[in-house]
Amino acid sequence: MRTDLSINELRQLYLDFFKEREHLIYTSASLDSEDPTLLFTAAGMVQFKPYFLGATPKFAGFDGVWHRVTTAQKCIRINDIENVGRTLRHHSFFEMMGNFSFGDYFKKEAAAWAWEFLTDVLKFDPEKLYVTIYETDDEAFEVWTKHVGIPAEKISRWGEDENFWPANAVSDGPNGPCGPCSEIFYDRGPEFGSEDEVGPNTGSGDRFIEIWNLVFTQSDRQEDGSLIPLPQNNIDTGLGFERLVAVINGVPDAYATNLFQPSIQKVAEVSGVEYKGQESLSHRVIADHIRAVTFSISDGVLPTNDGAGYIVKMLIRRAARHAYLLGIREAMLYTLVDNVIESMGEAYPELEPAKERVAGVIKTEEELFLKTLESGIRRVNTIFSEMDGKELDGAVAFDLWQTYGFPLDITEEMAEEQGITVDRAGYEAASELAKQASKGETSTDSIFAAQKDTLGILAKEHGETEFVGYEETKIKAKAIAIVGKDSDLVEAAKTGDEIIIFLNPTPFYAESGGQVGDAGTIDWDNGQEEGRAIVISTAKSPEGLVKHTAKVIKGSLRTGQGITATVDLRRQEIAKHHTATHLLHESLQQILGNHVGQAGSLVEPERLRFDFTHPKALD
């Protein structure tokens, strides 16, 4: 085996091998995928989908038409995040080497070249290589046995879960280009295996390692589940670079190599905790996550509370927690950007110029999290110690995220350490609710309404609700009444209940004149426990009562309880759009004439619409 190669040489050797076979060496697509169905670019083929379907393969910066392309692609997959650091096979960020044919060469060449690259160029022992094919793909069997010359007993056939790409696409989709695949496995020897591991796709060990996936992209899956032949036969291969680096260097995993060692050594130095291979989970998680975060931010995916940005935030926080577990008490992850660049900067020249920006973003996020980490950890431990059962309420887990910035993932990791599970469905529900609240998508009356006579009684007793939200967005007030789901007044509400709360006074602006109502939170402490409800929307009844539609996500709330009401800052965004409608109105009158009148408007946190009267279309 070619153990003499540096990581950069190995990567280049792959690309040059295919360049010699008339492939264009093309650049990795951004991790910030343009494909709306993906959070991140997750495979080499993502940027080439149109070419499999028959579009002319032309590439920015290169003349001519290229039916053969090769890339080293930056990828992120986070579906098995809890296994990161524990196995050879899981990384959040990884590189996928690939060679692609768009209606040019097919199975014969793809198989023969893969074999040649592994056995001739990298000097893999052919005895240790195994091949899997799709159960009905006799053509692939012929190619491997007759054309490449592999003994039939080295080849095994598997179903669509193992040897179709995307996996299980025949039964479950997605629609679009797909096909049977053939995988090449390397046998690392019994010391890496489990007893039940007798060949590829068997057992639970890490002995037979898939290193290269050759996809024969020949079908187009339709909505009705049928597979029709694509206008052309294509090749999409993916070789896991980290695995290759580990295997070729004869080490258990890539953490032992220079792909990760610079970061790991820095972590060891700063923490004073020596790196000891597989048992040093924290060093490994940090070294893994910092790569994903550095590449994501350099590609423009910043830590946010939604979508791909949420993943970036979660990865930073997971890494920060592991740094904390190693005894590190100050922000330091951001300094690892240098080490990532040391490992990866030559192959990905976009990193170096982004260095300061990336480090700055990480540092800010890290410091924010550190501020809440200790109190959060205390809070989580208290919750665990006071729990009756072994399942944590999903709404409570969501509150840990909202209040302490603990991603579900960290809560689950801490829970697992104590044999506790987290109610994921409940978490999703609370999260969905909060999302709706921040978008103002739910309206009070669509959930349920307080009965008219109830409102009448309340109005008589308490008078109209006083609105103080122009002066204050956070006030102390009293829950003067609670209406439950059956539209009746209730004495108290508990975690999980959807309710209408009446406060007096209130800082929440009620929906009016095209401006959506406020959302926010109501918090209380009844002496025994803290509680919280999320206000989803705010509306006004004809009696002048402000109705706050809310969901209790923690604790229980009794009528008469003193609370703190906090308006979500989205109101500021709404206010800006409100101002903008007036500016727009004035501008239209100045440019088009005083006849321009307002015919309606919609004012939301993210956009405004302004309807106006003017006899002609505008240029």
Question: Contact between 237 and ligand SER (CB under 6 A)?
Answer: yes
Question: Contact between 236 and ligand SER (CB under 6 A)?
Answer: yes
Nearest CA to 98 out of 119, 76, 74 is that of 74
Task: Kindly report the number of other CB atoms within 10 A of residue 615's CB atom.
Answer: 6
Q: Are 434 and 534 in contact (CB under 8 A)?
A: yes
Cis peptide bond N-terminal to 174, omega within 30 = yes
Say which amino acid occupies 245: V
Angle at 355 between CA 260 and CA 362, to 5 degrees: 75
Tokens of 418: 């104590």
Cis peptide bond N-terminal to 505, omega within 30 = yes
Task: Kindly report the number of other CB atoms within 10 A of residue 147's CB atom.
Answer: 14
| Residue found under tokens 């509150």 | 399
Q: Are 124 and 41 in contact (CB under 8 A)?
A: no
Task: Kindly report the number of other CB atoms within 10 A of residue 486's CB atom.
Answer: 8
- Which listed residue (92, 213, 339, 431) binds ligand SER by CB under 6 A? 213
Applying CB under 6 A, the span of 236-244, 337-345, 438-446, 610-618 interacting with ligand SER comes to 236-244
Question: Contact between 392 and ligand SER (CB under 6 A)?
Answer: no
- Which listed residue (39, 69, 148, 215) binds ligand SER by CB under 6 A? 215
Nearest distance from residue 241's CB to ligand SER, in Å?
12
| Nearest residue (CB) to ligand SER, 213 versus 343 | 213
For residue 550, what are the β-bridge partners? Answer: 499, 535
Question: Contact between 238 and ligand SER (CB under 6 A)?
Answer: yes
Angle at 76 between CA 71 and CA 77, to 5 degrees: 125
**Separation in Å, CA 592 to CA 563, 577, 582:** 50, 22, 15
Nearest distance from residue 598's CB to ligand SER, in Å?
53
Question: Contact between 111 and ligand SER (CB under 6 A)?
Answer: no
| Nearest residue (CB) to ligand SER, 215 versus 315 | 215
| Residue found under tokens 């308490």 | 462
Tokens of 619: 């240029």
Tokens of 289: 């996550």
Applying CB under 6 A, the span of 79-87, 230-238, 352-360, 579-587 interacting with ligand SER comes to 230-238
Question: Contact between 380 and ligand SER (CB under 6 A)?
Answer: no
Distance CA 552, CA 430 (A): 10
Nearest distance from residue 113's CB to ligand SER, in Å?
14
Distance CA 176, CA 167 (A): 13
Q: What single DSSP character describes residue 511? A: P
Nearest distance from residue 213's CB to ligand SER, in Å?
4
- Which listed residue (14, 66, 67, 98) binds ligand SER by CB under 6 A? 98
Q: How many residues in the shown chain lie near ligand SER by CB under 6 A?
A: 10
- Which listed residue (7, 17, 30, 44) binds ligand SER by CB under 6 A? 44
Applying CB under 6 A, the span of 42-50, 80-88, 513-521, 589-597 interacting with ligand SER comes to 42-50
Question: Contact between 180 and ligand SER (CB under 6 A)?
Answer: no
Alpha helix segments (H runs only) across 24-149: 49-52, 107-116, 138-142
| Nearest residue (CB) to ligand SER, 34 versus 416 | 34
Nearest distance from residue 120's CB to ligand SER, in Å?
22
Q: Are 394 and 429 in contact (CB under 8 A)?
A: yes
Nearest distance from residue 143's CB to ligand SER, in Å?
17
Give the contact letters, 150-179, x = binds to ligand SER (CB under 6 A), - = no.
---------------x--------------
**Among all residues, whose Cβ is closest to ligand SER?**
238
| Nearest residue (CB) to ligand SER, 166 versus 469 | 166
Nearest distance from residue 215's CB to ligand SER, in Å?
5
Nearest distance from residue 96's CB to ligand SER, in Å?
6
Please list every residue from 531 through 550 that binds ligand SER, using CB under 6 A: none
- Which listed residue (43, 422, 433, 550) binds ligand SER by CB under 6 A? 43
E-strand stretches of 341-394 = 391-392
Q: Are 102 and 234 in contact (CB under 8 A)?
A: yes
| Nearest residue (CB) to ligand SER, 170 versus 458 | 170
Binding site for ligand SER (CB under 6 A): 43-45, 98, 165, 213, 215, 236-238
